[in-house]
């Protein structure tokens, strides 16, 4: 693993009943980077996240996290090493308040806010307030989570990952079902996390991808088709043919 990299996948393969969901996947993520994975349905994007967090085991290849081989570690041990996963369907305690949800997540990791925000907090509640401000939920901390809008629910789940001190955060289509305003706010949250956390985001909204990404990785048939800045990926003829179409990113 090169200096500055937090995650490296080499030759990863995953097969389901004869179907090769991922085939020879190579991926390197730098510490503090925000990487977007895009590609057509069935390209292996979600499976790649599943392999990283340990939900699915690869049949070949190697995964290294901060220099440690985690390829065969169980899911809970990978989570304890600072890998957080947000799925498409939020998982929150709807009968508890937003504050209570954050407190439950906080209790899983002592001293978490000192690491998440890189500052000394005067009290636990102060850290919860700042976390609420970070994701835009400071005005609804004492409301039941079940009353939140779709976008607010997604932001709460992101906050829960931060409360658990996830250094590497994996997000699967975080803006699905959001309004334009909610999507813009989500982009603001993600951009504020870059540098302090490493994010790998699977997303279909190309306007959102352009707004947040450091590097875009285009997957096709279980492997990397192209990789680079948004402008380079958009102009790649192989990408246009496989995924973006003749209209380019704006029409994907």
Residue 9 lies in a domain: no
The structure tokens 């009353």 sit at 147
Q: CA-CA distance, 12 to 25, in Å (whole number)?
A: 5
Residue 26 included in any domain: no
Three-class secondary structure of residue 74 per DSSP: coil
Query: Would you put residue 225 in left (φ > 0), alpha (ψ -120 to 50) or beta?
Result: alpha
| Distance, CA of 26 to CA of 136 (rounded, Å) | 36
Nearest to 87 by CA among 3, 2, 161, 142: 161
CATH of residue 119's domain is: 3.40.50.300
**In the prediction, which pLDDT does 111 show?**
46
* Of residues 32, 14, 35, 71, the one with CA closest to residue 196: 32
Q: Show pLDDT as tens, one digit a residue, over the chain (252 residues).
A: 556 899 999 999 999 888 889 999 999 999 999 999 999 888 999 999 999 999 999 999 999 999 999 999 999 999 999 999 987 666 789 999 999 999 888 775 544 444 444 333 444 556 788 899 999 999 999 999 999 999 999 999 999 999 888 899 999 999 999 999 999 999 999 999 999 999 999 998 989 999 999 999 999 999 999 999 988 998 888 888 876 554 444 444
Is position 239 within any domain? no
- Look at the chain and report how many structural domains it folds into: 1
Residue 103: the pLDDT is 87
Q: Is 34 exposed, middle or buried (0-12, 13-18, 19+ CB in 10 A)?
A: buried
Q: What is the pTM of this model?
A: 0.86
Q: Which residues pair with 219 in a beta bridge?
A: 224
Q: Is residue 137 part of a domain?
A: yes
Q: What CA–CA distance (Å, rounded) separates 58 from 78? A: 14
- Tell me whether residue 232 is in a domain: no
DSSP structure class, residue 250? G
Q: Assign 176 to helix, strand or coil.
A: coil
**What pLDDT is stored for residue 114 in this prediction?**
44
- Could you tell me which of 245, 175, 239 has the C-alpha nearest to residue 207? 175
- Enter the tokens of residue 167: 């250094």
User: Residue 129: what pLDDT?
Assistant: 86
Q: What is the pLDDT of residue 128?
A: 83
Say what the pLDDT of residue 19 is: 86
Structural domain containing residue 152: 83-166
Of residues 170, 167, 174, the one with CA closest to residue 197: 167
Whether 56 maps to a domain, the answer reads no
* CB-CB contact of 125 with 211 (8 Å): no
Q: How far is CA 42 from CA 10, 22, 79, 147, in A?
A: 20, 9, 26, 34
Q: How far apart are CA 131 and CA 137, in angstroms?
A: 8
Classify residue 204: in a domain, yes or no: no
CA distance 215 to 20: 25
In a domain, 227, yes or no: no
Number of neighbours of residue 52 by Cβ within 10 angstroms: 24
pLDDT of residue 104: 85
């Amino acid at each position: 693993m090169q200096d500055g990299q937090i995650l490296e996948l080499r030759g990863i393969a995953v097969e389901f009943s004869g179907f090769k969901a991922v085939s020879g996947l190579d991926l390197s993520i730098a510490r503090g980077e925000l990487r977007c994975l895009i590609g057509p349905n069935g390209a292996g994007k979600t499976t790649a996240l599943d392999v990283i967090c340990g939900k699915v085991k690869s049949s070949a290849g190697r995964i290294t996290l901060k220099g440690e081989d985690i390829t065969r570690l169980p899911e809970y041990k990978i989570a304890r090493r600072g890998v957080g996963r947000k799925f498409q369907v939020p998982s929150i305690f709807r009968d508890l308040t937003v504050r209570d949800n954050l407190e439950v997540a906080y209790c899983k990791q002592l001293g978490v806010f000192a690491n998440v925000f890189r500052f000394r907090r005067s009290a636990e509640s102060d850290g919860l307030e700042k976390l609420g401000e970070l994701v835009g939920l400071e005005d609804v901390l004492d409301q039941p989570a079940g009353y939140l809008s779709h976008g607010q629910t997604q932001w709460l789940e992101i906050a829960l990952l931060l409360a658990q001190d996830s250094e590497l955060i994996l997000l699967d289509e975080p803006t699905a079902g959001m309004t334009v305003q909610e999507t813009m706010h989500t982009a603001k949250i993600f951009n504020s996390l870059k540098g302090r956390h490493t994010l790998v985001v699977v997303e279909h909204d190309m306007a959102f991808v352009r707004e947040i990404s450091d590097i875009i990785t285009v997957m096709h048939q279980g492997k990397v088709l192209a990789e680079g800045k948004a402008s380079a990926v958009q102009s790649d003829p192989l990408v246009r043919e496989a995924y973006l179409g003749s209209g380019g990113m704006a029409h994907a």
